[in-house]
């Protein structure tokens, strides 16, 4: 199955970001992708931390959700919409949610980011808990590809990547493809991004597809980029260092079986 990670440099204006996302989705479909993953905050990376509150949508209703459903149906793609803000019970916070759509345009899964990022690094001061309400559990969904193989897809977002026990829960549920939409900072991405992604692939013997924000944003923030597809042995199959574009490569069930049979580490777990 061909899968694509779509890399963006999202700004503060939703319509412009959606236009860019649509072009990338069309390109992915034209190149034979069956699944396309958008980055975290693909629809808007605001000028101020609280901008996301005004952009929050009601689950099942809203411009960005309509966009994702229509694009999936128009293009015959499985689309995982990076993240977008969804309203929650707290008027001062939102959920940072990843939504998965089938080629029929139906939302088949929702994952709310569990681990909330905080960084104090010189002038970089980020604390997601000020505007985001954390989710509480990992989520998987089944994806049947055009060849009839059913994949168990595990959803995650950005900072989740630092918590291996979270991905062990995906592995225990049978996940063989892990999705990581992200907006890693330049500081943390340059130090940790690729090594963390490869570790999650190796230790869980799963494909990892990571779609990143990658460049200098309208709000002055710089994100790391380096969208990647990694196989269960930890081999990087495709990468895009920076800027707008996509990474497209094959995820093979045969490769998954090969790695898990030649080194059956998942079956050797003691704890």
**88 among known catalytic residues:** no
Token readout for 41 is 């905050």
**158 among known catalytic residues:** yes
Among 97-111, 115-129, 144-158, 197-211, the minimum mean pLDDT is found in 115-129
* Cα dihedral 129→137→191→240 (10° resolution): -110
Rounded to two decimals, the pTM is 0.97
Among residues 219, 215, 163, 233, the alpha carbon closest in space to that of 192 is found at 163
Active-site annotation holder among 57, 133, 158, 242: 158
Quote the mean pLDDT of the chain: 96
Look at the chain and report how many structural domains it folds into: 1
Q: Is the pLDDT of residue 20 over 80?
A: yes
Q: What is the mean pLDDT of residues 189-193?
A: 96
Active-site annotation holder among 34, 57, 113, 242: 113
Q: What is the mean pLDDT of residues 113-130?
A: 84
Domain that holds residue 225: 2-265
The rounded distance, in Å, linking the Cα atoms of 140 and 50 is 29
The percentage of residues in the chain with a pLDDT greater than 70, rounded to a whole number, is 99
Note the pLDDT tens digit of each residue in 125-154.
Answer: 789 999 999 999 999 999 999 999 999 999
Q: What is the mean pLDDT of residues 190-194?
A: 97
| Res. 121 pLDDT band, cuts 50 70 90 | low
The rounded distance, in Å, linking the Cα atoms of 188 and 103 is 35
Q: What is the mean pLDDT of residues 55-83?
A: 98
| Res. 77 pLDDT band, cuts 50 70 90 | very high
**165 among known catalytic residues:** no
Active-site annotation holder among 40, 57, 128, 133: 40
CATH number at residue 143: 3.60.110.10
Let me know: does 204 contact 266? Beta carbons within 8 Å: yes
Is the residue at 270 inside a domain? no
């Amino acid at each position: 199955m061909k899968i694509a990670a779509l890399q963006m440099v999202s700004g503060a204006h939703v319509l412009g970001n959606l236009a860019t996302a649509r072009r990338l989705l069309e390109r992915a479909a034209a190149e034979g992708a069956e699944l396309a993953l958008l980055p975290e905050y693909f629809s808007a990376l605001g000028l101020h931390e609280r901008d996301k509150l005004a952009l929050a949508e009601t689950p099942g209703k809203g411009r960005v959700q309509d966009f994702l459903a229509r694009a999936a149906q128009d293009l015959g793609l499985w689309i995982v919409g990076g993240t977008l803000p969804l309203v929650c019970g707290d008027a001062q916070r939102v959920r940072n949610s990843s939504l998965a759509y089938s080629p029929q345009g139906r939302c088949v899964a929702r994952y709310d980011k569990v681990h909330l990022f905080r960084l104090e690094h010189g002038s970089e001061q980020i604390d997601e808990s000020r505007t985001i309400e954390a989710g509480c559990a990992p989520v998987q969904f089944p994806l049947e590809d055009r060849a009839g193989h059913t994949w168990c897809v595990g959803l995650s977002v950005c900072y989740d990547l630092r918590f291996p026990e979270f991905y062990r829960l995906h592995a225990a549920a049978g996940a063989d493809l892990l999705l990581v939409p992200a907006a890693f900072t330049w500081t943390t991405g340059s130090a940790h991004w690729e090594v963390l992604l490869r570790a999650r692939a190796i230790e869980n013997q799963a494909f990892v597809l990571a779609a990143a924000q990658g460049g200098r944003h309208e709000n002055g923030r710089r994100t790391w980029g380096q969208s990647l597809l990694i196989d269960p042995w930890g081999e990087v199959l495709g990468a895009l260092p920076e800027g707008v574009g996509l990474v497209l490569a094959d995820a093979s069930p045969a490769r998954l079986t090969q790695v898990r049979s030649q080194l059956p580490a998942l079956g050797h777990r003691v704890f």
